[in-house]
């Protein structure tokens, strides 16, 4: 999800799972009440020397994961535009995971040698390889965003009103189980008095189950408001379903931070287009 949605508290999940971004992506939330465009500059160009082995052994994939985005949200009397960025600073695969990946790579090579070539079997193995490529044992991501808002949807009221930076962590306890534990530490602050936001520190944790098509997570986030010395909590059940290679449907339900009107319900669609080409 675009960091701008996270900063504006519009994202389906506030405990984000670090992952490899695609070359270009579009996020749509709640029937076009919010939209975002994301881009990863590295993948707009071909890199013939960047092999699959280099990808798996690249523990600091800063160039490959540096992602920029712009998100916008609209309400009856308030509009916001947020620019953001995120980058994976550490990505580790366990030796056992690397062994699984090497085994599937060998299977694909053997299938390419056999005649006639079994296209369906190769496609199945490639899908397995792509899934394992996303199953890191540990990863850490830094993200940030800055928001511009307009009270009463008036151009003259445009002002930079909110900024934030945060750290996302992901840990896979057991390579045999599709379970991830994720955490977040986020600091946000208000730049003006255009709205009621103040200075916040969020921390949270989530547990998720992942398959090739479905990811379901349960998250808890605690928010500390330093300006009022109050704290709030958010609980959410978040699901991501991969309809096709380029389309993911996301939904989130639960309790939001506010004490009134705090029923959380977010529905969205993520479109992602990849230009990744790695030699085995």
Mean pLDDT (whole number) for 194-205: 79
Identify the pLDDT of residue 167: 98
DSSP 9: T
**What would the two tokens of residue 172 be?**
């896979």
pLDDT tier for residue 174 given thresholds of 50, 70 and 90: confident
Q: Does residue 263 contact residue 274 with C-beta atoms inside 8 Å?
A: no
Displacement of CA 188 from its chain's centroid (Å)? 18
Is the pLDDT confidence value at 72 over 60?
yes
- Bridge partners, 233 (sequence order): 222
What SS3 class is residue 110? helix
Is the pLDDT confidence value at 197 over 70?
no
Is the pLDDT confidence value at 180 over 70?
yes
CB within 8 Å of 153: residues ≥ 6 apart: 77, 78, 79
What mean pLDDT value characterizes the chain?
A: 88
Identify the pLDDT of residue 108: 87
Virtual torsion, Cα 86, 87, 93, 99, nearest 10 deg: 100
Is the pLDDT confidence value at 129 over 90?
no
- How far from each other are the two terminal CA atoms of the chain, in whole angstroms? 29
Q: Does residue 206 contact residue 13 with C-beta atoms inside 8 Å?
A: yes
**What would the two tokens of residue 6 be?**
């996270």
Q: Does residue 187 contact residue 165 with C-beta atoms inside 8 Å?
A: yes
Is the pLDDT confidence value at 254 over 60?
yes
Is the pLDDT confidence value at 193 over 60?
no
63: left (phi over 0), alpha (psi -120 to 50) or beta: alpha
Residue range 21-59, pLDDT digits in tens:
888 999 988 866 788 999 999 998 888 888 888 999 999
Phi, psi of 254, rounded to the nearest 5 degrees: 155, -150
Burial 76-103 (b: 16+ CB within 10 A, else e): eeebbbbbbbbbbebbebeeebbebbee
Separation between Cα atoms, residue 206 and residue 184, nearest integer Å: 9
Query: Could you give the C-alpha distances from 217 to 47, 94, 147, 194, 255, in angstroms and in order?
Result: 34, 22, 27, 34, 15
Mean pLDDT (whole number) for 132-144: 94
Mean pLDDT (whole number) for 80-87: 94
CB within 8 Å of 123: residues ≥ 6 apart: none
Separation between Cα atoms, residue 33 and residue 38, nearest integer Å: 17
pTM of the model: 0.88
């Amino acid at each position: 999800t675009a960091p701008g949605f996270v900063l504006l508290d519009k994202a389906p999940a506030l405990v984000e799972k670090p992952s490899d971004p695609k070359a270009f992506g579009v996020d749509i939330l709640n029937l076009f009440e919010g939209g975002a465009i994301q881009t990863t500059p590295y993948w707009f160009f071909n890199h013939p020397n960047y092999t699959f082995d280099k990808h798996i052994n690249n523990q600091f994939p800063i160039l490959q994961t540096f992602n920029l985005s712009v998100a916008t949200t609209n309400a009856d009397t308030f509009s916001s535009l947020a620019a953001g960025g995120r980058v994976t600073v550490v990505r580790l695969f366990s030796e056992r995971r690397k062994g699984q990946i090497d085994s599937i790579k060998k299977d694909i090579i053997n299938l390419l040698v056999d005649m006639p070539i079994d296209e369906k079997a190769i496609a199945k193995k490639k899908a397995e390889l792509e899934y394992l490529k996303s199953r890191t044992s540990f990863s850490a991501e830094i993200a940030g965003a800055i928001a511009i808002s307009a009270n009463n949807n008036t151009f003259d009221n445009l002002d930079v009103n909110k900024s934030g930076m945060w750290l996302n962590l992901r840990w896979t306890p057991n390579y045999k189980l599709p379970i991830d534990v994720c955490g977040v530490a986020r600091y946000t602050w208000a730049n003006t008095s255009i709205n009621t936001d103040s200075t916040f520190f969020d921390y949270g944790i989530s547990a998720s189950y992942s398959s090739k098509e479905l990811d379901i997570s349960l998250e808890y986030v605690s928010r500390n408001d330093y300006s009022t010395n109050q704290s709030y909590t958010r609980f959410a059940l978040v699901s991501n379903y991969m309809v096709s290679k380029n389309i993911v449907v996301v939904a989130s339900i639960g309790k939001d931070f506010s004490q009134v009107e705090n029923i959380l319900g977010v529905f969205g669609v993520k479109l992602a287009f990849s230009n990744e080409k790695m030699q085995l």
